[in-house]
Amino acid sequence: MAAAGRGLPRMYDFSVSKQAAAGSGDGALELLKAHTPEGHTVRSATSALAKLLAYHLERPLQPSERLAHQADFVASMLTGSAPTSDWHNALKLGYDVQALQYPAWMSAGSPIGEAIGMALPPVVPPGEPISTVSPDVAARWGLPIECIVVGGTTDSIAAFLAAGATEVGDAVTSLGSTLAIKLLSSTFAEDARRGVYSHRLGDLWLVGGASNAGCAVLREQAFDAGELERLSSAIDPSVPPPYTDYYPLSSSTVGERFPRPDPNAVGVLSPVPPERRDFLHCILHGLAVVEKQGYDALAELGASPLRRVLTSGGGAQNPQWTRLRQKMLSVPTSRAANIEAAYGAAMLACRGT
């Protein structure tokens, strides 16, 4: 999320409670607590609306300022028009993906509406045409003048689309530096207190959450690719590791978002077994537990039952870990056929146009 003349863009993990200018973050969260529904996703300290309100409390928003997520900004540069957002990027800005409009508590005359003024972008369905590229962009990059720019999405949803999950109950787990899950559901489920939110995907819902735990801890513990492959091949997924209570947060991370939100959470990577193979087994088991707890949380909130899991990210390449996870999840678990977010974004644009 960017704002001209306001310093560096505020990234997805920017927390107004920890990183915004003194007082502005707390003020933003107080406004949200007072004027938004209990459990709403915008109450998170990392939500786009929290960041926008913090901007305003640092220095009042001007009529010429517009909020733009990364995809919105790029589309704006391509079309030469003001930023337009989409259902997926605008979710944590407060856009109501059930009613398909900004809610009343963000309207003019409301305390939040008065604060953010005209900064809210219009919102379109992902993949819906916005405009053609501008003549200057077409000439600069050699694009056809009739080239259409469509509403965007997030990288994780694009990866979900690329993975080939198409049926209710299909899910995609991303095993990258952090662990994220998304489940295609016929029912809406959301609870910001537990880090769970729903994106609209046509007439269905993409319910998910993202943990701060993930494969970053493997790099931190100096496991290189060769050692990971060698040691993993010696792990028996049917046998528990020596220790089963690891919580694999890296040492630089304080706090957890999902599935057990705790702003003070720290990693648990001890006791350390004498054998590196067993240490790796403990870490992989701990991450699988986080994944299992994540899908359990979605079920508790009313999402559709899990029927299969496709896997993206670097961890998808580890067959022993996949078998360990499948045993814990009790559903078919495999590597996704395609894991490139760019492919999913291209699919979305093709469907939309």
pLDDT digits (tens, 9 = 90+) for 266-300: 999 999 999 999 999 999 999 999 999 999 999 99
pLDDT at 319: 96
Average pLDDT of the chain to the nearest whole number: 93
pLDDT at 247: 97
- Exposed, middle or buried: residue 226 (CB in 10 Å: 0-12, 13-18, 19+)? exposed
Which has more pLDDT, 2 or 230?
A: 230
pLDDT at 155: 83
pLDDT at 193: 83
Residue 106 contacts residue 67 (beta carbons within 8 Å): no
Angle at 293 between CA 292 and CA 297, to 5 degrees: 120
pLDDT at 341: 84
Distance CA 289, CA 291 (A): 5
Lowest-pLDDT choice from 12-21, 74-83, 319-328: 12-21
Q: For residue 1, is pLDDT > 80?
A: no
Confidence of residue 317 (pLDDT cuts 50, 70, 90): very high
Lowest-pLDDT choice from 41-45, 191-195, 254-258: 191-195
pLDDT at 118: 87
> What are the residues facing 179 on neighbouring strands?
175
pLDDT at 190: 87
Domains of the chain: 16-124 (no CATH), 164-337 (3.30.420.40)
CA dihedral of 169, 173, 179, 185, whole degrees rounded to 10: -20
Q: What is the pLDDT of residues 227-251, one digit of tens each?
A: 999 999 999 999 999 999 999 999 9
pLDDT at 2: 54
